[in-house]
Chain A
Amino acid sequence: DSGVTQTPKHLITATGQRVTLRCSPRSGDLSVYWYQQSLDQGLQFLIQYYNGEERAKGNILERFSAQQFPDLHSELNLSSLELGDSALYFCASSRGQGVAKNIQYFGAGTRLSVL
């Protein structure tokens, strides 16, 4: 168990809908990262938050947004869902954002199926 908790484990929804994925980092970790794993794109970094502030952005679509709350949990919001958004979404956390502290621990993932 990595200590990173993601909910829900599975999500089935329809095109055009909006969903929220939740992540609780390991105790003491200030950084949260979101990744998307799809069959055709592999594992791709979406976005990073550090202590409530956005720190890095990857290939995140404009239909997607995220935030990190004062208690350090994070939510990833996906809207106007398309079939191609079906993927495994991972959250990871690390102690800080510095190089020496950037060992990332991954949650079990949320499997999103858009029908």
Chain B
Amino acid sequence: GIQVEQSPPDLILQEGANSTLRCNFSDSVNNLQWFHQNPWGQLINLFYIPSGTKQNGRLSATTVATERYSLLYISSSQTTDSGVYFCAVVPTSGTYKYIFGTGTRLKVLA
């Protein structure tokens, strides 16, 4: 089946710093979403981005489907950005279920 790998696995930043999180997938996909899991366990939708670029405030994402990767950019990080970031993909072949990556654990220090 499809493999979804995220890097880096862990990231520690000072407040105000920028970061780039990466999601690589081993096969073609129809859908891709980025999620933030906050320290309370809630999974929050960030982007639905099977291709192209989107921006929402300090966050932006780019997916290059032909090269099988997606990037999540966080600028001017805040302590509330801490948590785990997951990308999830729906493979082109198969059913409509998301395959989640292993996640990037981000800690932003004040």
- Interface on A for B, CB 8 Å cutoff? 2, 31, 33, 42-45, 48, 55-56, 58, 88, 90, 97-99, 102-106, 108-109, 111
Contact partner of A111 (CB less than 8 A), chosen from B41, B45, B90, B99, is B41
- The answer, yes or no, to whether B43 is at the interface (CB within 8 Å) is yes
Binding site for A on B (CB under 8 A): 30-31, 33, 35, 41-45, 48, 86, 88, 90, 95-100, 102-103
Taking a contact as CB atoms closer than 8 A, the residue among B41, B97, B99 that contacts A33 in the complex is: B97
Q: Report the Cα distance A102→B30, complex, angstroms.
A: 10
Q: Are A103 and B98 in contact (CB under 8 A)?
A: no
Which residue of the partner chain, among A42, A43, A48, A109, contacts B96 with CB atoms under 8 Å? A48
Bound-state Cα–Cα, A45 to B4, Å: 14
- Chain A at the B interface: SS class: strand
Tell me if B95 and A99 are in contact (CB < 8 A).
Answer: no
Q: How many angstroms from the CA of A33 to the CA of B33 in the assembled complex?
A: 15
Measured CB to CB, the nearest residue on chain A to B103 is A42
Find chain A residues with CB under 8 A from B95 CB.
48, 55-56
Nearest-CB residue, chain B, relative to A58: B97
Residue in A closest to B48 when the chains form the complex, CB atoms: A103
Quick one: which of B30, B31, B45 contacts A106, CB cutoff 8 A?
Answer: B45
Provide the bound-state CA to CA distance between A104 and B43, in Å: 11
Report chain A residues within 8 Å CB of B30: 99, 102
Closest to A45 in B: B97
How distant is the Cα of A106 from the Cα of B88 in the complex, in angstroms? Answer: 12
Instruction: Flag if B43 contacts A109 (CB, 8 Å).
Output: yes
What residues on A are CB-neighbors of B35 within 8 Å?
106
